[in-house]
Structure 1
Amino acid sequence: MRQSFIFANNKKYISLQKPLKNKLFPLFWCLALITVGACKMRDPMGNRIGVVKGSYHNTTARFNAYFNAKEIFRKDVSNFESGYTISYSNVLPLLKLPDEGASSGMAANMDQIIEKCSKVVTRHKVSKWTDDSYMLVGKAYFYKGDYFDAAQTFQYIYNTFPNKDLKEEALAWIGLSKMQDKMAEDATAAFEMAEANIADAKKSKRFVYTAMAQYYINRKSYDKAASSLENAIKAIKKDKLAKINYSYVLGQIYEKQGDYAKAVESFKKVQGLRAPYEMELAAKINAFRLTNLTEGGNTSDLIRKLNDLLDDEKNSEYKDQIYFVLGAIAQRTNQPDSAISLYKLSAANTGRNLNQKALSYSQIAEIYFNRKDYDKAHLYYDSTRVFVQRDHPDYEKIIERDNKLDDLIANIKIIDREDSLQHVAALPEPERTKIIDEQVAKIQSKIRESKVDQSQYSSSYNTLAINRFNNAESGGSSWYFYNNNAVASGYNEFIRRWGNRQLADNWRISSQGVANTKIFDTDPGFDLKSIDAAQPDKIKAFLVKNLPLTPAKLDSSNQIKQNAALKLAAIYSDDLEEYASAIKYYELALNTPPPLHNADEIIYNLSYINELAGNKEQSAAYKNRLLNQYPGSSFANALRNPEASQVVDITQTQAEQQYEMAYKDYLNRDYEKVIASNKDFQLSKANTYLKSKFAFLSALAVGKTQKVGSFEAELKKVQQEYPNEEASKQAGQFIASIDNNRAEFDSREIALEERSIATATDAASISKRYEDQRRLEDQKREQELAEAESKSYFKKPAPNASYVLVVAVNNATANLNRIRLGIGQFNRTLFADKNYTHNSKTINNETQLISVNQFADMETAKAYYKKFMEYRNDVIGLPDEKYTVFFITTDNFARLINQTTVEEYRDYFRINF
């Protein structure tokens, strides 16, 4: 081959020099490695390996599997973190950890990562990427919400690999996994061990201290949190933004401790580090506020400074935070009305930061709740619930209060409704007929108005939607639901037009729009959408049907009143400690015919609550009534001999204190005491929420002392006795972990074994478990495919089959305009060049189908389905249980004739695709 020469600057170059170098480089590298010698090559566990073998496994492991898995992980976590909203009024998160909803959305990609990394583990065990692959597997389990397997994997890393930084990082992840799994004792042990050995690590110090600080913040152990965070800041080398964030959080922790001087110092440090403007402003506000407290300044000076910030145009986007602080000042200085006004301004000026809106609403709700204005408190807790995130420090309290107030108001409405119905039924027939005719006319008018409103709304909404979906000047993502400004704008437009309404079916024509007569508007079967305004006789018949015009119907109405009154009495007594209202509703239930089957218990409660309320004479009267009318009752015996009574009478505050004491006993490993305390607590007058928490704590104590059978039985007992409480859900998660790891739990002497983090070896066979699990899954899938094919009503797709995507909604009357709008925008945004169309039809009068046409082959359908499922929550806007999404051949689509065939195809689709 002739070499050509190029002359430049009197130097001669061979034009093929660069290509030759690229071709010879791998050969040169291999020769160099052989020269070094095989004896110097070692795997991550320190074992010697040959050069060629090691190079092959290192290269293949890294670029064929680990690299792709790491990229999937990086992108998925980055997307999650970028969508994580924070409020500077709460302690900022040091680590953005997913809640159950986020984990569910990330599960599919995390499963891919586990699959790819398990190939590295099983096929390239000698590569230097094995330990990294295990670490990525553990993180994938963590982010998908499988904290048991995450902890097991990190445990294996700690036990197996010699790298000290890796061991420390694994311990920190074990602590986080146990923290997320509500196992505080195990989390504490992991973090304490990590701290004891932190001197051995170099690269992992920052992460370990950060994880520890986050754990102690969650536990509200602010002294330990401050110490850990100070060490984390020292470990930061060049990451200026991290130092800014950590310094801000440190200031918040110092404030929680009451050390305002140090808090001010930290917030000023944030300003000195030239933080992003939003954080700098928040730090400045906090420094103003705390300086005012430390120096004993008057609030007028602080208010003046905050008003100056409001007047500065640079702060127009941050008015919500400033108004919130002004509201807090008004609240602190006993000006609740001013505080409410300022919190409302904060909520009204909220843009992207919906967390701030939640915080403002929760403060208004708290003020009304303390005033005992439960109607308004419920409205604002309801609004808080729409926006609040699980990392809010009072999340559980907000949800519990909203649920209780929801029950309270619903039962008050039930009593009002039954009273009104009974009143109308008791009127002379001419008067009754006149009232019903007037009501029919009002309902007809409202039906007509609601239908006009719907058509106006549809027109304006479509215009608004098109503008927002295609607003190129928004500066954000073109996809509406990922554009925070567009979402906030849409929300504000909704509030302006419709008010702050709860999400519910047929919300535009809900009972709020009907005349507020208290007679018919709370009937759960009264659906305006299904009523024709031109048929007044049908409306009248429906209204008359509800009137208690016969003795049997009157008894039924009274029983409804009694049940509602008993629920209200329990809420007022146990949850709100408002004894006058509790007495009122117990007496209503007791004095309303027919007689109650548990009248002895109600009389006992009336005696006890009157005693608490200071009504000595009334208490004695009810005591005598119980003893005279029900002398053999267990409640009468309890009054005669209070010390022998099994019923423990405690206030809500006392019940909370008892639970806190039991939790401390649990942390101190006094499990038998926890179990014994729970038995007494379950017999007490504590509310259901606390009883469920105590029962779950006792179940964990059983798990710490007994075999898995006893532990599982206690968990199932929690589920059975408290199906609607959070504790039932937590018990279910433990039961699922036991089911998924049955052999391992069965082998343990104690279900939740207490062993040293350093010596535990229960994950030693994790590699084999990956292989066995994959093999069993493949076998199961092959078996399911064979069975499905033999039984299926549907035909196997032909090689040249075309496909459609189907959204099946299990409600024949649901309004699908929102879904169709979402699908149209989804197609215009992400598949603009495909001209996909969509149609709808109803089958068998019970299921509505929306189909997207048409995909030339299975691969195209799969790609569309995958992308659709990624955005499904935003496009469809319904709970998952109310619809099904699948793709199907055009031939099989014709075979969907009713809900049964839809369900059958759903199973067929799950197995085959």
Structure 2
Amino acid sequence: MKKSYNLIIFILIASSVLSCSTKKDSVINRNFHALTTKYNVLFNGEQAFEKGLKNIENGYVDNFWKRLPIEPIKFDERNANLIKFSSPGSGFDGDGGSDNSVPATPFDRAEEKAAKAIQKHSMNINGYEKNRKIDDAYLLLGKSRYYTQRFIPAIEAFNYIISNYPKAALIYDTKVWRAKSNIRLENEKLAIESLNLLIELDKNEKNLTPLQRQQAYTAMAMAYEKTDTIQKVIDNLAISTSFLKNHQSARNAFVLGQIYSELNRKDSARMVFRKLADEKWVPEKYRIHASIEMVKNIEAKDSSNVLLVDRLRKLIRNSDNRKYLNELYYQAGVLQEDRGNTEKAIDFYLKSLEVPSRDIYQKTYTYEKLGNIYFEKQEYLLAGSFYDSVLKATTEEFETEKRIRRIKRKNKGLTKLRAFEETVTANDSVLKLVAMSSDERTAFFEGYIEKIKESDEKKRQRLLNAQDFGSQFGGGSSFGGGNNQGKWYFYNSQSVGFGKVAFQKSWGKRPLEDNWRWSDKNEVGSETEEEETVQTEKTDSRYVVETYLKQIPSDPAVINKLKVDKNEALYQLGLIYKEQFKNSTLAISNFEKLYAINDKPELVLPINYHLYQLYDEIGEEEKANEKKDFILKNYSDSKFAEIIRKPNSKITESKKVDEIDKKYRLVYSLYKHNQFEDVVDQVDNLSAAAQNSELIAKFVLLRALAIGKYKSKDEYKKALEFVALNYANRIEGKKATEIIKLLK
């Protein structure tokens, strides 16, 4: 009996060992390894792969302001989550591996499991694979490599399936994935050829499932998109949307609508987007943005504008669309602006900015729209602040866009404008105070202090009201109340804020020290409580007239500097408005203000000439003739008078300038070719016209640099000192000064 029992045990052990063999072709072996592959190793790999796809789906953010990529994934070498991985196959032998062998991503884990399935359970006997699940392992291996940006190894896995399992059920999926890998490797022609063969074969045999057809046409559209064959992209996207109602179908349709919009085929775009917006099976983000795109593709005078306004209002009122409110408000603003309702548009744009959102890119468009509106209204300072906001919100990814570069150029002039306007305003205010009598100054600041006190009192009352309101709802800081048990005063930020304001109101800013109540420590205890309060109130410098009076400059040099800076700012403002912004009205205003207070004789002529041009431009002939006569009478020998008498003299002058410029280029070329003695000789023999030109400082500096190349240090220094002394206020003079400091 015992011998029989042992024999049975031996047979069971032997059969289980034999069934584990991958070299014996038997029903038991094939099924054992197929089941083990499917429900053990491969199952875990597929779970890891699905997790990786989920991570991509959750992490990928679509930018609906640009054409969406057909496949929602972005391969980026800087993204460590995609490219950092250990070598698959490590730790297979049960050693558990080290910490360094842990796969970096779910796709690495999936690849590891696929490789393990092939290594442990492949039954390749006499050139034929007997394990029917190994082709699934190879497909998982290729797809995992695709998502870790290793496209060539992925193609190797796909090719192995196509070569060794030509009749496998997943052969069509494999061909599509191989084509996608070739597209990523920029082998679009090869991908198109293989996909064409697959599609033509399906037309005859009808072997592909609807999902496989959708994937094939989607991959074909991706390939043609890389080759910029846009009509082919349209054709394949349109076909791909007809098989299934799933996420990819909605995405393909949305991209199709965007392409129609780019091609200015507005009717086709609206038709696609309307269908997406009205279909309930379409994912929410595509439905909402389809409604937005319908607005973008409508003509300003189209009668359907009214219907779109109602549609947007319904979407805005729907609480389920809260995360899209910033875009909905923005598009409502665009619609109102197109209809000429600028004030309503501004209101919608501001509402869009108020909505908390992570979509910084969308905010740049809103800021730009507001900047453009105020620029058109000639409110340049406000426009500049909105353009500043665009540039602050712009990330590195979008800095090179034409739109952003254009805003940068536009804002550059506005930044200068803002600086000059601030100079004029600030200096003008100070100069007005300088011109006041002592009594007038005192009265002015007493009124100003009263306004400060009134503002502080309103703030204090608001904080007090907020504290009382919080106390009524259990948020106060009163002690002994049952509702406030355990709620200390300093846990309530409103109470603390009120306390700080109230303390500074009564005591001013006091250092943390003994006898902090007393301003004068030598007289502690000598004042009454009433005198103490008066004393401390006076310590708040904002409420003391003397604080402001002593800041008014009295030094004539300082006052003169304020005047000079103000006049220079007015002149520059006039030029900016005239030349850059083509705003004749504001240019005239600034030049006239300057003319009225100008005390520099050298500015009289240019101011009058600019005013002559501006008045002539806007058709005020009387004032233009007045300025013209003034120049011709008082500055008849000037070049401005010559231009007025002979407008063609501008050409002569420009020719002279061109000749001098060519001369400088020649001398600079000699310097670059190390012909330093020739440089010195050329500069020493400059014509009278060149010596009186704006480029003379450049010539002289170039001469000094040439001397430094072949003469002594003393001679070099002497030449530099000549430049530094004679052109101290110019860039060339400052550069020479820097070099002299270095030589010392």
TM tier relative to shorter chain: 0.3 to 0.5
Bigger RCO of structures 1 and 2 (CA < 8 A, at least 6 apart): 1
Q: TM-score, normalised by structure 1?
A: 0.40
Please give the TM-score of this superposition, normalised by the length of structure 2: 0.47
Larger radius of gyration: 2
